[in-house]
A and B are shown apart, each in its own frame.
Chain A
């Protein structure tokens, strides 16, 4: 099977692509590192193509990688650099999005 998404150095993606995505390839960043995804796909797919998880959330801070994918379990919230928090499985990827997963720069 063909891996169409470039993994970030040192990390690896969790999801494995099995079908060709139609959307055009667009740039975005994760913790400042430039990566690419497909326009129109949900953020969760774009992130997990190159990362194993979203990092941790309080209260128990276990590592998360989504669960239900239909916006109900709330296990996939991620921060954007503009201060927004979004649910990765219901938020479409947009070119230029800056995702922050690193908890060390987390205020609220």
Chain B
């Protein structure tokens, strides 16, 4: 039949869905692999099988429904595999696990990675207790399942998601014990010009802040330290800010300090990474078009750079156009220019956010020796520092080998950045010298019972 090049999109969030539509318009039939049972990703995830009495701020189920049904409208023109998790990628093929437990492989000619982001955490005393969730986790419990993760939830972290999640919980009728932000209010002022580049999102942010304030929820800004208290399960949180240290009774904590792109596939494909000094994260090298230095490999959405839902959609569309361009298909230069202008605006807004809500690097660097950094393997900050001093190694991959930090079920997704910071500090070297944890296949757990449909010689 047709010998059209096979474009594979991994992830059907806003970025992946927009890319799929653009490729279809360009006359291609992309293969779309999505881990979840339905399209929509983080922002529009389903099953949204719950009905709230009131509208939640920043949550527009109708728009989500439209986005998703738009995508479902083109599924007969794409190859659509929901419930499919990509586990490994090489320069010529992908390996994926279906929800039926069957492993399959597919060749690819162009690959767009749009795998989204995960909350960034800072290891704090007590953060591994049952009842502590990521902000995204608490938000998913609310929006997808219609549940609060506890009877009294404390919110801790920094960034727009902190305030959004707290405001959504309040609107849904949850009891909120505290909103504690490591950022200072004053930090927002210099960020204002950049934030004004997207007045709508700025307005939403301010509205969330007002909702929290009006509800009379205790607010702490400029938080310098926090401890989750309890034995087995959360009983309270204590936070230290300029006003001193205070306890707040709660049975759940939602915490998050920004987002970390899920870049494991790009790493396996040898895309180079660069350290972003302000956030201390290593990000895959991509340009505004979504191209990476590795031929035929593209990245879009939060999985490349965290710019937000609208930007994810735009960057997915832009990356799809780049794929079409590189395949020698006609594209509209006007459209490309418009997308890049719009993305530039989103980048500007993201810069403003980064300034208003800086990552609390000091809090991370000062992690107590007794605090668990790697929740999968139970490795403490003290164990990391002691390995660094004993063996004179500060590369975070060496630290992983010596301590098991990052070797567990989550593959270092949660502890990687903090482990690097702690190792660098113990060695007295700049953060960049600790490097970043390298991805290893399978990028998500592979059930040993999974059956493989492929028979071919090893290697």
Q: Which residues of A contact B (CB under 8 A)?
A: 1, 14-23, 38, 40-42, 44-45, 48-49, 52-53, 59-60, 62-75, 77, 84-85, 87, 90, 92
Whether the pair A73, B51 counts as a contact (CB closer than 8 A) is no
Contact residues, B36-58 vs A (CB, 8 A) = 36-37, 42, 47, 49-53
Known contacts A17-B146, A59-B377, then 16 further A-B pairs from the complex at CB < 8 Å, ordered by chain A residue: A14-B252, A15-B149, A17-B147, A18-B146, A19-B53, A20-B50, A41-B47, A42-B144, A42-B145, A62-B130, A67-B132, A67-B137, A72-B262, A75-B375, A75-B410, A77-B409
B447 proximal to A (CB < 8 A): yes
Shortest Cβ gap from B116 to chain A (Å): 8
Residue numbers in A under 8 Å from B132 (CB-CB): 67
Residue numbers in B under 8 Å from A92 (CB-CB): 37, 47
Q: A90 to B136, alpha carbons, bound, how many Å?
A: 14
Residue numbers in B under 8 Å from A20 (CB-CB): 50-51, 146
Please count how many residues in chain B sit with their CB below 8 Å of the partner chain's CB atoms.
Answer: 53
Whether the pair B375, A45 counts as a contact (CB closer than 8 A) is no
B174 proximal to A (CB < 8 A): yes
Q: List 21 A-B contacts (CB under 8 A).
A: A15-B145, A15-B150, A16-B147, A18-B142, A18-B146, A19-B147, A19-B172, A22-B50, A52-B130, A60-B377, A60-B378, A62-B128, A63-B233, A65-B131, A67-B414, A68-B133, A69-B133, A69-B134, A69-B136, A69-B141, A70-B137
Residue numbers in B under 8 Å from A75 (CB-CB): 375, 409-410
Residue numbers in B under 8 Å from A72 (CB-CB): 118, 262, 410, 413, 444
Whether the pair A15, B141 counts as a contact (CB closer than 8 A) is yes
Shortest Cβ gap from A82 to chain B (Å): 11
Whether the pair A53, B233 counts as a contact (CB closer than 8 A) is yes
Residue numbers in B under 8 Å from A66 (CB-CB): 133, 137
Shortest Cβ gap from A63 to chain B (Å): 5
User: 7 shortest A-B CB distances, which residue pairs?
Assistant: A19-B146, A74-B409, A60-B378, A69-B137, A65-B130, A45-B145, A15-B147
Whether the pair A18, B49 counts as a contact (CB closer than 8 A) is no
Whether the pair A18, B52 counts as a contact (CB closer than 8 A) is yes
Q: A21 to B145, alpha carbons, bound, how many Å?
A: 7
Instruction: List the B residue with the shortest CB-CB distance to A86.
Output: B447
Q: A72 to B144, alpha carbons, bound, how many Å?
A: 17
B140 proximal to A (CB < 8 A): yes
Whether the pair B128, A68 counts as a contact (CB closer than 8 A) is no
Whether the pair A40, B118 counts as a contact (CB closer than 8 A) is no
Whether the pair A49, B36 counts as a contact (CB closer than 8 A) is no
B339 proximal to A (CB < 8 A): no
Residue numbers in B under 8 Å from A49 (CB-CB): 147
Selected from A16, A60, A65, the residue in CB contact (under 8 A) with B174 is A16
Q: A42 to B136, alpha carbons, bound, how many Å?
A: 16
Contact residues, B382-421 vs A (CB, 8 A) = 408-410, 413-414
B266 proximal to A (CB < 8 A): no
Shortest Cβ gap from B136 to chain A (Å): 6
Residue numbers in A under 8 Å from B232 (CB-CB): 53, 62-63
Selected from A16, A22, A60, the residue in CB contact (under 8 A) with B151 is A16
Whether the pair A16, B137 counts as a contact (CB closer than 8 A) is no
Whether the pair A18, B147 counts as a contact (CB closer than 8 A) is yes
Residue numbers in B under 8 Å from A62 (CB-CB): 128-130, 232, 378
Contact with A along B137-176 (1 / 0, CB 8 A): 1001110111111110000000000000000000011100
Residue numbers in A under 8 Å from B64 (CB-CB): none
Residue numbers in A under 8 Å from B317 (CB-CB): none
Known A14-B149, A16-B174; contact A67-B133, beta-carbon cutoff 8 A:
yes
Contact with A along B425-452 (1 / 0, CB 8 A): 0000000000000000000110101000
Selected from B130, B148, B376, the residue in CB contact (under 8 A) with A18 is B148
Residue among A15, A65, A70 having the largest count of chain B Cβ atoms under 10 Å: A70
B313 proximal to A (CB < 8 A): no
Instruction: List the A residue with the shortest CB-CB distance to B232.
Output: A63
Residue numbers in A under 8 Å from B137 (CB-CB): 66-70
Residue numbers in A under 8 Å from B35 (CB-CB): 71, 90
Q: A21 to B449, alpha carbons, bound, how many Å?
A: 33
Instruction: List the A residue with the shortest CB-CB distance to B404.
Output: A59
Residue among B136, B145, B445, B449 having the largest count of chain A Cβ atoms under 10 Å: B145
Instruction: List the A residue with the shortest CB-CB distance to B255.
Output: A67
Q: A23 to B170, alpha carbons, bound, how many Å?
A: 24
Selected from B49, B141, B449, the residue in CB contact (under 8 A) with A23 is B49
Residue numbers in A under 8 Å from B408 (CB-CB): 74
Q: A27 to B191, alpha carbons, bound, how many Å?
A: 52
Instruction: List the A residue with the shortest CB-CB distance to B172.
Output: A18
Instruction: List the B residue with the shortest CB-CB distance to A85.
Output: B447
Whether the pair B413, A38 counts as a contact (CB closer than 8 A) is no
Whether the pair A45, B262 counts as a contact (CB closer than 8 A) is no
Selected from B49, B172, B414, the residue in CB contact (under 8 A) with A73 is B414
B364 proximal to A (CB < 8 A): no
Contact residues, B243-271 vs A (CB, 8 A) = 251-252, 262
Shortest Cβ gap from B344 to chain A (Å): 29
Whether the pair B173, A18 counts as a contact (CB closer than 8 A) is yes
